[in-house]
Structure 1
Amino acid sequence: MVGSRRQQIVDAARALLAEDPESTLAVRAVAERAGIGPSTLRHYFPTQQALHEAIFATALDDAPSEMRIRDTSVPAETRLRECLVQLLPPPQPMSRAAADRMLTVLSTTFGSGSTAEARNAWGAYTVRTLDAIAGWLRVLAEQGAIPEAGIPRRARFLLAVVEGMALSRIVPVARPTGDEEEGVLDDALSVVFRASAPR
């Protein structure tokens, strides 16, 4: 029952965020959506940080979609680009509240007060994302669109590029323009579609 009640609360909080990305996830609002009292919510999540960590961990459980990666009627580079773009946060400028939430997640995961749960969630997300990227590349290699050699390295390279782009969207300093991001992604894809693996 404990697990299901915790998940009920997390699902309620995620639903509120889906409806309103600016939501502060006030205890009363989340509790009401979950159909429980505020004190029950605080029993399971004593702090807002604990609730945010749980939301973050479950969000990372969402597997990346294959989208159109197998659709040979679409150019291979376009298909791979679409798959990679889904890994990025929304491109529009983030509100202060949304950016602060993301920075809190990063601090919770990597800062001095980081928790094992947050680090494990991030590690699991990284492994799953790396596997997804490698899977997309294998599909393209099977179709003859890219060489089979070096897929693990290419996947790790693309993950590093996407993670860097994601961070640049979150941190409000020197945020790249849409054209600059397109250029970075073009450069990364040109490496992947070259005849030799990246060195």
Structure 2
Amino acid sequence: MIRQTGATLTGSREKVLQAAAEMIAEDMGTNLSVRAVAARAGVSTGSLRFHFPTQRELREAVLRRIYGRLVSDDPILDRSVPPRDRLVSCLRQVLAPAGVGAEARRTWTRAYEAFLVPEPTEQVRDAYLAYEREGLRRMEYWLTVLADEGALPRGDHTRAVHFLRTVLNGLSLERAMPADDQILKTETETLFTAVDAVLGPATT
């Protein structure tokens, strides 16, 4: 029996995550099948299953990796900045990768082709919900940090998180539409309005 060392296990896990990230970059709606990801990563299906027993665990792990790289310097932890400004900065970082204009249109076209054009199969639904869960999880974390500081009440932030997510979806779509040069200015104003609705305008 051949035993894998810790370094080998770590290496195979990284290969799987890298391969899965590349597949998602090529097709947001890909189902990350065990055989396809293992073949791309150059590892056995058994090795992949060892690290990620289910497709859901694999997808959520790779999305955490992708989101982590997009928001690697999390401004929510910088307590020298008022909570209101920190939360707006966090939300702006979510919007930034989509770009503006042509770049935003390409992003929305990919999402449309991945999740709206196909029939709403279980695979399509699972892929979409994985993105949603990771985005909501990150926003829940931001609000929990601020609640721990006393910037908003502790407890269930589900409604606030879904509200902020809806605002971000609308703003990201606006970025893809024909717009004037003031779009980023009005976007910032909208973000502050949304954050004030969650934290309260007196929060500094």
**Normalised-by-shorter TM-score class:** 0.5 to 0.7
**Which structure has more helix as a fraction of its residues?**
2
* Unaligned stretches of 5+ residues in structure 2: 1-11, 27-39, 41-59
Q: Does the aligned pair in 2 maintain the 1:108–1:115 contact within 8 Å?
A: no
Alpha-carbon distance change, 116 to 102 in structure 1, aligned in 2, over 3 angstroms? farther
Match of 2:139 in 1: 133
CA separation in 2, counterparts of 1:140 and 1:9?
33
Match of 1:111 in 2: 117
Match of 2:67 in 1: 63
The number of residues matched between the two structures is 151
Residue 160 of structure 1: how far off its partner (Å): 0.9
- The 3-state SS of whatever aligns with 1:145 is coil
- Are 1:72 and 2:79 an aligned pair? yes
**Which of 163, 179, 199 is the aligned partner of 1:193?**
199
Q: Percent identity?
A: 27
CA separation in 2, counterparts of 1:132 and 1:177?
25
Alpha-carbon distance change, 188 to 10 in structure 1, aligned in 2, over 3 angstroms? closer
Q: Does the aligned pair in 2 maintain the 1:67–1:83 contact within 8 Å?
A: yes
Match of 1:11 in 2: 22
CA separation in 1, counterparts of 2:196 and 2:113?
33
Alpha-carbon distance change, 143 to 108 in structure 1, aligned in 2, over 3 angstroms? same
Identify the structure with bigger relative contact order (alpha carbons < 8 Å, sequence gap 6+): 2
Instruction: Please give the residue correspondences for 1:37-56 in structure 2 after superposition, counting only pairs within 5 Å.
Output: none
Alpha-carbon distance change, 144 to 194 in structure 1, aligned in 2, over 3 angstroms? same
Q: Normalization by structure 2: what TM-score?
A: 0.59
Q: Residue 138 of structure 1 aligns to which amino acid in structure 2?
A: T
Match of 2:153 in 1: 147
Alpha-carbon distance change, 125 to 178 in structure 1, aligned in 2, over 3 angstroms? same
Q: Normalization by structure 1: what TM-score?
A: 0.60
Alpha-carbon distance change, 92 to 13 in structure 1, aligned in 2, over 3 angstroms? same
Q: Does the aligned pair in 1 maintain the 2:101–2:178 contact within 8 Å?
A: no
